[in-house]
Structure 1
Amino acid sequence: MRPVFYKYKSSKPSTVLPLTTLKWLTVSVCLVLTACNNTTTAQSADQLDESHSKNAAKADNHTGETNHTNDTINIASPDWGNAATLTAMGHPPIATGDVRVWDRWVGTPTLPSSIIDLGIRYQPNAELIAQLPVNLVVDNFFYKHARNLYGDVPAESVMFAAKGETATWADYTEPTRELGILIDNPKMAEDYIVKSQKDIQLASQQFQQRYPKAKKFAVVQFADANNMRMYVANSLFQPALEQMGRELVVLGKGNQWGFVPIRMGDLAQLDDETCLLIIDPLSPITRAEIDDSLIWQRLDYGNTRCVGELPPVWIYGGMSSLVSLVNNLSEVSLKGGEVL
């Protein structure tokens, strides 16, 4: 049934406003809107000024520290992989990008509170960089478009990535050694590599004691409830699992970033012996939609199939990401299948 609309007829004659009155009303509305806009703009400017003041204060502190440690090479890096590895080595950069979401995507290592946020990683704040006592910028090809923002500060490229179709341990140790050379402390890098290998061995032993039957893993990260990235042989998961004596199971050849896009139904191709690892972050909305998915329910993960969820790790990171991943895996709670 369609709704019925009735026309209302007033018993009073309509009132027509004089043209002069209409003009004054229009001007008044414009003045009110302009005032509101100016207030909003002023508030935004105050927020920017507050953020800039905090970073400027940090810059001043770094300047003071530099005067006391003339032999320290101050690094700035928009790249999280280099920033995380330098921090884990014991030589954190004085600045990196997108610090505000570091915990959500990188996790560990924790950044020192003194580290300055350069703003968006892909487009760092040139004005802020100019105020910092930076000796060297460390980036990679993804950030080369921003090198004109650094002025006279030299920049070096260090890339943690597979050199072939399969990522190897050397693909992560060699760039770590490059960082050691750039900070004029090769021993620091070498010590960190040795420590990392020991940490991975210890985490592997802990995992073996908890889940001796879990040998094969597929690794995914959800984009939404039906689409995901499956990380493959040229990702950091290959050398990490290989160091643990485990196998990475993949469905196809990955792109230059180490993953292949798949849909939820594609997971049916995995055998029952393969445990699915889901990498956070995973939003509450997406999690609820996955639980309600008939395909997910049919796959039966958590019951007849093994599944586990891991904290965030920077997929495109360096040696520190390898160590974080293995440590996370040693503490994971697996459910379902025959792994228990």
Structure 2
Amino acid sequence: MTTALFRPANVIRHAHSARRRALLGRATAWAITCAVPLRARAQARVPRRVVVMNWELTETLLALGHAPIGIPLPSWYSSTIVAPPLPRGVADTGLLYQPNFEMLVALAPDLMIVTPGHASILPALQRIAPTLTLGAYMSDAHPYARLCEETRAMASAFDTDSRASALIDATTQNTQAVEQRLGLQPDRTRAPVIVAEAIDDRHLRVYGSGSLFDDMLRGIGVSNAVNPPASANHATASWTTNAAGSALVPLQRLTEVSHAGVLLISPLQPDVLTTLKKNPLWRALPAVRERRVAQLPVIAPYGGLVSMQRFVTAVEAALDTISTGRGGLA
């Protein structure tokens, strides 16, 4: 461990020590899961000053009707998550995994929501306030089901279980409505799609099994070309994704799924768009020549239920664009 990591801990140990001891005495009250009895939760003070150390979890907190007092790089949330909008005045707590400890102490939170990725600094964070660890859904084999569980767990920390139920129900209803509408027009859902981000003019990040996007495509009855059928040949079946359900692949991999439409997630950087449109391989792809390419809005691949509602709605619109021959990149 470096000296830089020790320095914030010294500040923390000597700042507001009496208050921290009192907060730590209540730490177990905030280690809440769906199974915590209602009576026990009613006796615990509902957190009011909450710092969230992750943008996707910030989305869920806002969707549950609570606003954080601090998050890492608020402008990044606004450009990558989008909805629900972040209220004005939310403090900047620094980098995602290298927070400003002095700022955290000054904010005096009574709960900090962290991810498994913060394990190395968790003891230091717990000297400031009790913590609640969520976000494991981002690397779960069944991320959507786990996301729903963690949404309930977060709501439980604020004694607002009904808000989680309403959010989950709204997402289910929205997904089912999209599935039903697409089912009435089978030509729009018969061909599979690729959901991807353009990293540069030669590489894409595609989302397959183990990703939230893949779970949502299944939910609306749209086939994901990254998950080929069992009858596919070995070469086509080798789209291996990581623990988060994504894979970085060269552009030529799309030639293996020439029948698939391509849904590109925004933002598509202007320089990438320019070079991609000039790339002979891209221009030769059947999906490009036949205008089976559509651009999705900015949607966080590991976002919460609001992001997933936006995703299925955007896919429906993209499929309509493709089916009517209006696909392509602007």
**Fold shared by both chains (TM-score > 0.5):** yes
In structure 1, which of residues 59, 83, 91 is the aligned counterpart of residue 66 of structure 2?
91
Any idea what SS the aligned residue of 1:161 has?
helix
2-structure distance, mates of 1:89, 1:203: 23
In structure 1, which of residues 221, 227, 237 is the aligned counterpart of residue 197 of structure 2?
221
Please tell me the residue identity of whatever aligns with 1:117: D
Please tell me the residue identity of whatever aligns with 1:170: A
Q: Find the counterpart in structure 1 of residue 117 from structure 2.
A: 142
What's the CA shift for 1:232? Answer: 0.9
Q: Find the counterpart in structure 2 of residue 186 from structure 1.
A: 161
| Counterparts in 2 of 1:300 and 1:104: CA distance versus 1, 3 Å | farther
Q: Find the counterpart in structure 2 of residue 255 from structure 1.
A: 242
Q: Give CA deviations for 1:97-116 in whole Å, capped at 9, x if unaligned.
A: 12112232212221111322
Any idea what SS the aligned residue of 1:331 has?
helix
Please tell me the residue identity of whatever aligns with 1:163: D
2-structure distance, mates of 1:207, 1:289: 34
Is the counterpart of residue 278 in structure 1 residue 264 in structure 2?
yes
Please tell me the residue identity of whatever aligns with 1:279: I
| Counterparts in 2 of 1:118 and 1:206: CA distance versus 1, 3 Å | farther
Is the counterpart of residue 266 in structure 1 residue 253 in structure 2?
yes
What's the CA shift for 1:127? Answer: 1.4
1-structure distance, mates of 2:178, 2:114: 30
1:1-340 aligned at under 5 Å gives the runs 71-147=46-122, 148-149=124-125, 151-159=127-135, 160-164=137-141, 167=142, 169-205=144-180, 212-215=187-190, 216-250=192-226, 252-272=239-259, 274-304=260-290, 306-332=292-318
What's the CA shift for 1:207? Answer: 5.5
Any idea what SS the aligned residue of 2:240 has?
coil
- Are the aligned partners of 2:47 and 2:111 in contact in 1 as well (CA < 8 Å)? no
What's the CA shift for 1:77? Answer: 0.9
| Counterparts in 2 of 1:168 and 1:185: CA distance versus 1, 3 Å | same
2-structure distance, mates of 1:212, 1:112: 42
Any idea what SS the aligned residue of 1:228 has?
strand
2-structure distance, mates of 1:199, 1:133: 38
Q: Which structure has the larger Rg?
A: 1
1-structure distance, mates of 2:324, 2:318: 16
2-structure distance, mates of 1:207, 1:290: 30
Any idea what SS the aligned residue of 2:200 has?
coil
- Are the aligned partners of 2:291 and 2:325 in contact in 1 as well (CA < 8 Å)? no
Worse-superposed segment, 329-338 or 291-300 = 329-338
CA-based RMSD: 2.5
| Counterparts in 2 of 1:200 and 1:74: CA distance versus 1, 3 Å | farther
| Counterparts in 2 of 1:209 and 1:115: CA distance versus 1, 3 Å | farther
2-structure distance, mates of 1:105, 1:206: 28
What's the CA shift for 1:301? Answer: 3.0
Any idea what SS the aligned residue of 2:195 has?
strand
Q: Structure 1: which 5+ runs fail to align?
A: 1-69
What's the CA shift for 1:178? Answer: 0.9
Q: Give CA deviations for 1:59-117 in whole Å, capped at 9, x if unaligned.
A: xxxxxxxxxxx755332111112110111121232221121122322122211113222
| Counterparts in 2 of 1:302 and 1:337: CA distance versus 1, 3 Å | farther
Please tell me the residue identity of whatever aligns with 2:201: A
1-structure distance, mates of 2:258, 2:161: 45
What's the CA shift for 1:197? Answer: 1.5
TM, length-normalised to structure 1: 0.71
- Are the aligned partners of 1:211 and 1:339 in contact in 2 as well (CA < 8 Å)? no
Please tell me the residue identity of whatever aligns with 1:100: S
TM, length-normalised to structure 2: 0.73
1-structure distance, mates of 2:67, 2:180: 30
- Are the aligned partners of 1:220 and 1:228 in contact in 2 as well (CA < 8 Å)? yes
1-structure distance, mates of 2:325, 2:165: 36
Worse-superposed segment, 143-152 or 263-272 = 143-152
| Counterparts in 2 of 1:140 and 1:326: CA distance versus 1, 3 Å | same
2-structure distance, mates of 1:203, 1:115: 35
2-structure distance, mates of 1:122, 1:334: 40
Q: Structure 2: which 5+ runs fail to align?
A: 1-44, 227-237
